[in-house]
Structure 1
Amino acid sequence: MLKNQKPIVYVDADSCPVKEEIQRVCQKHVVTPVFVSTFNHYSPDADNDNWRIIDPDDQAVDLYILNKVEKGDLVITQDLSFAVLLMGQGVYALTPRGKLIAEADADEILYRKYLRQKNQKARNRIKGPSALTDEDKKRFEMQLENFLSNNEGIF
């Protein structure tokens, strides 16, 4: 990060279920999040200056964010493998379920990904994550609020 530059909150916005919560908490802390989405997930909200709409190539959103983030930034993403990658750059990662990804989570995340890929290759049916609940959204909002409060003056 450049000297005197404030950290940024990036949002992997393709199918992000907590956009309203992000807007509400960031507005309270006078932080402008950057929502990154592909054309395939275009939303009328995207006309806002804090949206970046990019090509729908595979992993395009991840690559855009990866090329823009700097140490100390926060990324909100459902992609746990991407979160592990970001940690290596000193970037914080928060899931829509309110989990702040830590270095200690990396091995388990990558092992679970390995098992999922192995099952996919074997054509075994894989159950996806459970639906996001109101409790999950509240936990997310509280965690984002805590993160921004703890880093007040930085963000």
Structure 2
Amino acid sequence: MTADHTAPAGPVIYVDADACPVKAEAVKVGERHEMLVVFVSNGGLRPSRDPLVRHVVVPGTPDAADDWIVEEANANDIAITADVPLAARLVEKGLHVLGPTGRPFTPETIGMAVAMRDLKQDLRESGAIKGYNPGFTARDRSAFLQALDRTVRLALRLKD
């Protein structure tokens, strides 16, 4: 993303948007705090008229959205993703990273998250477990809203 003089200074919320169930919640919190929200996807998202919402469409190649977010985001920005390898890259870069259920990925927790992801992938590939993810609930949505609001407040405090 190139410099945009209409964007507010301060942290930006980046959303790995292709399968994100909390896009509306990210916009709601972003608007409340007057923060830029950037949705990054391979396409298929409806454009927004909100000046604080940007859509970036990347090629449909594997990891294109991930690579774009890692390239553009800065330390103290916020990222929303369920993609554990992307979360690890962003945590390493100094971002505040949340999963769509509000689960924070931090320097202290990312190693275990990567290990669990790899273990589950191995178990799925061997047929030991099925590849079903639990459904997204109203409780998950509420937890996400609370976690994002806390994270935004932290990022804004650290900005100063």
Scaled by the length of structure 2, what TM-score is found?
Answer: 0.83
Structure 1 unmatched runs, 5+: none
Equivalent residue number for residue 44 of structure 1: 46
Bigger mean CA offset, 9-18 vs 77-86: 77-86
User: 1:135 offset after TM fit, Å?
Assistant: 0.7
5+ residue gaps, structure 2: 1-8
What percentage of aligned pairs have identical amino acids?
Answer: 24
Q: Does 1:28 align with 2:15?
A: no
Distance (whole Å) between structure 1 residues aligned to residue 150 and residue 121 of structure 2: 34
- Aligned-partner Cα distance in 2 for 1:151–1:57: 31
1:60 pairs with one of 40, 59, 64: 64
SS at match of 2:47: helix
1:83 partnered with 2:87: yes
Give the conservation status (yes or no) of the 8 Å contact 2:16–2:41. yes
The 5 Å alignment of 1:4-153 reads 6-39=10-43, 42-45=44-47, 50-152=54-156
* Matched residue count: 149
The question of whether the paired residues in 2 share the 8 Å contact of 1:46 and 1:53 is answered with: no
Paired amino acid for 1:45: P
2:11–2:155: 8 Å Cα contact kept in structure 1?
no
Residues 151, 89 of structure 1: CA spacing in aligned structure 2 closer, same or farther, 3 A cutoff? closer
AA in 2 matched with 1:63: D
CA distance in 2, matches of 1:135, 1:27: 22
The root-mean-square deviation of aligned C-alpha atoms, in Å, is 2.1
Secondary structure of the 2:156 match is coil
TM-score normalized by structure 1?
Answer: 0.85
Residue deviations 1:58-78 (CA, integer Å, cap 9, x gap) = 111101101111111111001
The whole-number CA distance in structure 2 between the counterparts of 1:132 and 1:45 is 24
Instruction: Give the superposition deviation at 1:101.
Output: 1.1
Query: Counterpart amino acid of 1:25?
Result: V
Q: Within 2, Cα distance between the matches of 1:53 and 1:91?
A: 21
